[in-house]
Amino acid sequence: MEQLDELELLMEKSFWEEAELPAELFQKKAVASFPRTVLSRGMDNRYLVLAVSTVQNKEGNCEKHLVITASQSLENKELCILRNDWCSVPVEPGDIIHLEGDCTSDTWIIDKDFGYLILYPDILISGTSIASSIRCMRRAVLSETFRSSDPATRQMLIGTVLHEVFQKAINNSFAPEKLQELAFQTIQEIRHLKEMYRLNLSQDEIKQEVEDYLPSFCKWAGDFMHKNASTDFPQMQLSLPSDSSKDNSTCNIEVVKSMDIEESIWSPRFGLKGKIDVTVGVKIHRGCKTKYKIMPLELKTGKESNSIEHRSQVVLYTLLSQERRADPEAGLLLYLKTGQMYPVPANHLDKRELLKLRNQMAFSLFHRISKSATRQKTQLASLPQIIEEEKTCKYCSQMGNCALYSRAVEQQMDGSSVPIVMLPKIEEETQHLKQTHLEYFSLWCLMLTLESQSKDNKKNHQNIWLMPASEMEKSGSCIGHLIRTEHVKTICDGQYLHNFQRKHGAIPVTNLLAGDRVIVSGEERSLFALSRGYVKEINTTTVTCLLDRNLSVLPESILFRLDQEEKSCDIETPLGNLSKLMENTFVSKKLRDLIIDFREPQFTSYLSSVLPHDAKDTVACILKGLNKPQRQAMKKVLLSKDYTLVVGMPGTGKTTTICTLVRILYACGFSVLLTSYTHSAVDNILLKLAKFKIGFLRLGQTQKVHPAIQQFTEQEICRSKSIKSLALLEELYNSQVPAPEQVEKGGVSNITEAKVIVFLTSIFIKAGCSPSDIGIIAPYRQQLKIINDLLAHSSIGMVEVNTVDKYQGRDKSIVLVSFVRSNKDGTVGELLKDWRRLNVAITRAKHKLILLGCVPSLNCYPPLEKLLNHLNSEKLIIDLPSREHGNLCHILGDFQRE
C-alpha cells in the first residue's frame, strides 16, 4: 500500500508540478509502469526523463532542458536540449523518450536542423492518423479513440478492390485482358461480397466502377515499368536529400520490381506503424547517372490532389522503411484514377514536423485521464481544441463524436472553451440527447478508459520488442526460435497456411491453443509484426498457423516468434457501441429509453397476436417437455416487444430453456441471433439444436468452434458452396424471402416487392380483371418508377400506379399496396408514420386489398403495428415460403413469353 500511495503522489505531482522529484519515486514509477528492458537492455537511445526545465540561452531564445538517464539505477545522467519549435513538445518528468541524432559529452541537442525526439515511443500511431491530424488534431485523436464508429462506405470498398487489383497486377501483368481477369477474381472474393451485401450494392455496379480505372493502370505501367531507354520515361522533378546541390532535379523514374505488397512495419524507434501499399525497387535516371532505391509506393483512388496529407503519408512511410532497409530518401504517390505519379522527397523539415505532430497525438492518447482542479476527482481529459473551420467540420466523419465529447465532457469542466462559431453546430449534433444521456456517455467513457489504462491492460504489444522470446516463453504466451518448414499453402482470400518448428528441440510448454490469435515477428529487432493470424494446430513438434501474409518471401534463415495477441485491452468495440448508442436514429433512441431512462419493457397482451396459426401444434408439442417456470419464461419471451431477462441458478435448466426457446421461435418463423460470452456456450446449445434438424449458420472463427459444429460455420459453408457471387451470398444469409430496401439518390425502393407486385398484377389480368380496375399504391416515388418500368417491360398497360395522396377520394376494384421499407436497423420514414395516409391506402379497394411488406420492419410504425396485430389475430397474414420470390419471377417470365 505504501508503494501505491507514493506512486499516486508521483502521478499527482507529474500532472500539476514541474519541480524535480525524488529519484526513488521515479524509479518506482519506472518499474511499475514500464518494463525493465526499456532502461536496462532497452531500444537504442531510449531514456527516462528525470526533470524538465525551460531556460533562456545566450541569444535570448527559450530552450527546454531535459535531465535524462538510460540507467536502471537512475545514475549516469545526460542532458537533452530542445531548441526552436521542439520546445513545444509536451514532455514531462517520468516520461519515456527516444532520441535520434548525435550525443556529444553526454549532451543531446535537438533543433530545427538536426535530430528528433520521439515521445512515448511504445505508442505506435499509423501514418494515416498522423497525416489526418494536419488539418485537425482533434479529429485524428477521436478516430483513434472511436475507431469502430467510422462506417464503411462504397468508396472504401471500391478503394480496397482497386488496391488489390493493382497489387496483383504489379506481380503479374498490366495487359488489359489480365487486368479484367484480376478485377473479376477480386470482386468475387467472399470478403468483398460480404461488404457489398452489407452496403446493399450490386456486383455489376462495383465491377463497372472498378473497370473504369483499368485504362489508367495500363497507362501507368506503360509510363514507368520496363522500358529499354531511360529517355522513354516521363520527366519528373526530384531532389533527394543526399543529392549534391549541383545535381539537376530533373530525372526519369523506372519501376524495376515489386519487392513487397502490404508490407507491415511496426517502428518503436519512431513510434509509428503502417502497411505500405507496394514496396518497389526503382532506378532514378539523371543524365548519365543512375541511382537504385527501394521506395514506398502509396496508392490513392480518390481525386488527384497531391495534397499535403497524401504527401505526408508517403514521408512517414519512408521513416518506416528505414526499419527494414537503407533510407529511401523519397517515396512515390500514385493516383489510380489518372495514372499520374508524383515523387515525394523526404527531407528533414517534413519528417521533423510530422514527428512533432505524432508527439502531440501520442500525448493526447497517453493522457486520456486527468484530475479536476481540486484534485479530488478523476475525470476524462480535454481533447485538442475544436478548429474554427465549418467547411472541414461539415464533412468530418467524427463530427458527431466531437460534439458529443464537447457537450458531455469538456463543457462540464471549469474553464472549458469552445469556439463561438461552433456552438450552434455542437447543439445541432446533440440536441436529441437529454442530460442523463450525456452523463451516461461521460461515465462509461471514463470507465472504459480507466480499464484500458489499468496495469494489466497497459502492455498492449510492447513485449514483442521489449522482452526477448526466451523471457516471454516463461509466461506461456510466446514461442520463439522457430523456423518455417514446408511450402506455404494459399487457402483463400489472403489466408496462408504456415508450418513452424523449433530450430532446436521441442515446442515448449505454452498456453497457446488452436484458435488463439497470434502476431508473428522475426527475432531480430527490425522484423516486428510481420503477420497476424490464428493458430490452427499445435503439438510438441509443430505449430501450424493461418496468417494474413505469405512469409515465404523472407529468407529461410530468419528465426520467428509467435506472440499471443492480447484482447483484454481492446476497448474499441465498447467505445464504438457507446458512440452509436448516442446517435440520432430510431434504434439508438429506443435503446437509450430502455438502458439509460429505464423505460420498462413492453409486452403484447395476447399470444394469438404473435403465434402463427399453423405453428400452434408444433409449439404445443415442444412445450410438453418443460416445467411450469420454463413454460412461463417461454410465454413471456413470445409476448415481449423489447427484451426479457430470464434468471436461473446453476443447474436449473437454462441451456435447455434457451434451446427450447430457439426451437419455438424458429417454428414461429422468427430469425434468431444466439450469442454468448464464450464459444463453448454457443456450441453447447447448437449441439442440442442439431438433433432437432434446426438450420443455423455458425458465425465466428472456425478454429474456435466445436468440431461437430464446424460444418455449419460461415467459412465452411461458403467454401463448400463455392460462393462467388452476391446472389449466392444473399441466399446464404437470407434463407427467407430476401427483400431489403435500397436507399439511393433517387429515393427509397424495394425491387423484390416491385417484382411481386407486378407478378400479382399479371395474375389478376390473366384471370380476366381489367387493368383499369387495378390500382397500385406505394409511398415512395422511386418505387413507383421501378413498378412502372417493370409493368412496361411486361407489356402491362392501363394499370394506375400512384402515391397515397393521389388516390385521395378515388377507388379501384383491386388495390395492391407496396410498403417498401425493409431494414434491420429500425430506420423509419415519416410517410408510414401518418395514420391518415394509412387510412387512405387501405380504404381504396372495392373488392380486394393486398398489402405487401416486411412485418418486422413495419411493426416499428405504431399505426401499422395495430393493423398488423389485427390481421394476425384474424389469420390474414401470409408468409411467402423460403426463396419463393425466385419462383414468382420465373412464373412472371412465363407469363411474359405467353
Phi, psi of 129 (to 5 degrees): -65, -45
In a domain, 831, yes or no: yes
Other beta carbons within 10 angstroms of residue 561's beta carbon come to 24
Q: Is residue 841 part of a domain?
A: yes
Q: Which of 588, 148, 145 is nearest to 402 (CA)?
A: 145
Looking at residue 831, its pLDDT comes to 60
**Rounded CA gap, 212 and 273, in Å?**
32
> Residue 609 — pLDDT band, cuts 50, 70, 90?
confident
* pLDDT for the residue 532: 92
The span from the CA of 742 to the CA of 232, in Å, is: 49
Which H or E run includes 52? strand 46-56
Task: Identify the pLDDT of residue 33.
Answer: 47
User: Mean pLDDT lowest for which of 593-602, 676-685, 746-755?
Assistant: 746-755
pLDDT value for 556: 86
- pLDDT tens, position by position, 295-353: 999 999 988 889 999 999 999 999 999 999 999 999 999 999 999 999 999 999 999 99
Same domain for 779 and 863? yes
- Among candidates 748, 741, 754, which has minimal Cα distance to 830? 748
As given in the structure block, the three cell numbers for residue 338 are: 489518372
In this prediction, what percent of the chain has a pLDDT beyond 90?
A: 44
Per DSSP, the three-state class of 859 is coil
Domain final residue, candidates 698, 733, 768: 733
- Partners of 55 in the β-ladder: 63
CATH code, domain carrying 470: 2.40.30.270
Establish if 131 belongs to a structural domain. Answer: no
Q: Are 388 and 420 within 8 A, CB to CB?
A: no
- The average pLDDT across 622-638 equals 88
Per-residue pLDDT tens over the stretch 706-758: 888 888 888 777 776 656 655 555 555 555 555 777 776 557 888 888 888 99
Claim to verify: residue 684 and residue 809 sit in the same structural domain: no
Helices 154-170, 190-199: axis angle to 10 degrees equals 160
Q: What is the distance of C-alpha 693 from the center of its chain?
A: 35
Across residues 556-561, what is the average pLDDT? 92
Residues 886 and 776 both lie in one domain? yes
Is 270 a residue whose pLDDT tops 50?
Answer: yes
Q: 877 vs 85, which has greater pLDDT?
A: 85
| Alpha-carbon distances of 603 from 600, 619, 642, 646, 871, rounded to whole Å | 10, 19, 8, 15, 18
Of 66, 101, 119, the last residue of a domain is 119
Phi and psi, residue 491, nearest 5°: -90, -65
Q: Tell me the average pLDDT across 132-157.
A: 87
- Is the same domain home to 67 and 86? yes
What average pLDDT does the structure give for the chain?
A: 84
Position 813 pLDDT exceeds 60: yes
User: What pairing do the DSSP bridges indicate for beta strands 330-335 and 289-300?
Assistant: parallel
Closest CA to 139 of 309, 383, 417, 363: 383
The reply to whether 258 and 351 lie within a common domain is: yes
* CA neighbours closer than 13 Å in the CB half-sphere of residue 75: 1
Q: What is the 3-state secondary structure (H, E, C) of 742-774?
A: EEECCEEECHHHHHHHHHHHHHHHHCCCCHHHE
pLDDT at 729: 59
Residue 877 lies in a domain: yes
669 shares a domain with 543: no
Beta bridge partners of 281: 257, 294
Task: Give 753-797 pLDDT, tens digit per residue.
Answer: 888 899 899 989 988 899 989 999 988 888 888 898 888 887 788
Other beta carbons within 10 Å of 725: 13
**Cα–Cα distance between 857 and 824 in angstroms, integer?**
7
Kindly indicate the confidence band of residue 102, based on its pLDDT and cuts at 50, 70 and 90. confident
Do 245 and 381 fall within a single domain?
no
Higher pLDDT, 887 or 209: 209
Tell me the C-alpha to C-alpha distance, in Å, between residue 724 and each of 160, 191, 194, 603, 718: 18, 10, 11, 43, 9
Structure confidence at residue 10 (pLDDT): 36
pLDDT interval class at 139 (50, 70, 90): very high
Q: Cα separation of 351 and 331, whole Å?
A: 13
- What's the predicted TM-score (pTM) here? 0.78
Grid cell at residue 492? 483463400
Asked if pLDDT for residue 167 goes beyond 70, the answer is: yes
Residues 689 and 632 in one domain: yes
Cell numbers placing 777: 399504391
Q: Note down the domain range covering 767.
A: 742-897
The position carrying cell 430502455 is 594
Within a domain: 155: no
Asked whether residue 527 is assigned to any structural domain, the reply reads: yes
Mean pLDDT of 137-142: 95
The 10s digit of each residue's pLDDT in 564-581 is: 987 645 688 899 999 999
C-alpha cell at 156: 472504401
> 15-24, 134-143, 200-209 — which is least confidently predicted?
15-24
Nearest one of 822, 880, 816, 33 to 462, comparing CA atoms: 33
User: Which grid cell sits at 792?
Assistant: 412496361
Neighbours of 726 (CB within 10 A): 20
How many degrees, rounded to 5, is the angle at CA 146 between CA 193 and CA 741? 40
Residues 6+ apart with CB under 8 A from 36: 72
Instruction: Answer yes or no: do 663 and 772 share one domain.
Output: no
Would you say residue 190 lies in a domain? no
Q: Please tell me the distance from the alpha carbon of residue 744 to that of residue 539, in angstroms, as a whole number.
A: 53
List Cβ neighbours of 499 (8 Å cut-off, separation of 6 or more). Answer: 484, 485, 486, 542, 543, 544
Q: What CATH code is carried by the domain that includes residue 820? A: 3.40.50.300
pLDDT at 896 over 60: no
Percent of the chain at pLDDT > 70 equals 87
Q: Does 277 fall in a domain?
A: yes
Instruction: Please identify, among 598, 613, 640, the residue that sits at the C-terminal boundary of a domain.
Output: 598
Name which of 685, 896, 671 is nearest 794 in CA terms: 896
Q: Identify each DSSP E strand in 216-314 by its residue range.
A: 235-237, 250-267, 272-286, 289-300
Contact yes or no for 154/199 (Cβ under 8 A): yes
884 or 500: which carries more pLDDT confidence? 500
CA distance 254 to 236: 11
Same domain, 863 and 877: yes
Task: List the one residue out of 809, 811, 804 whose CA is nearest residue 778.
Answer: 804
The arithmetic mean of pLDDT across residues 96-110, rounded, is 91
Query: Which of 62-71, 110-119, 372-381, 769-778 is least confident?
Result: 372-381
CA distance 408 to 383: 12
CB 135 within 8 A of CB 309: yes
Asked if 783 contacts 748 with a C-beta cutoff of 8 angstroms, the reply is yes
Considering its fold, how many domains does the chain have in total? 6
pLDDT at 502 (0 to 100):
94
- 830 pLDDT exceeds 70? no
In the prediction, which pLDDT does 820 show?
86
In this structure, the answer to whether residues 627 and 532 fall within a common structural domain is no
- Asked which of 143-152, 285-294, 339-348, 544-553 is least confident by mean pLDDT, the reply is 143-152
Q: Is the pLDDT of residue 408 over 50?
A: yes
Q: Which residue's entry shows cell 379497394?
A: 845
With beta carbons less than 8 A apart as the criterion, state whether 646 and 657 touch. Answer: yes
Q: Which of 366, 266, 268 is nearest to 43 (CA)?
A: 268
Residue 20 sits in a domain whose CATH number is 2.40.50
Task: Describe the strand order of the beta sheet including 845-852 as a list of residue ranges.
Answer: 800-802, 774-777, 812-818, 845-852
Which pLDDT belongs to residue 209?
A: 93
| 555 lies in the same domain as 622 | no
Handedness of CA 509, 511, 517, 520 (dihedral sign): negative
**Cα dihedral 21/27/30/31 (nearest 10):** -150
For residue 370, count other CB atoms closer than 10 A to its CB: 15
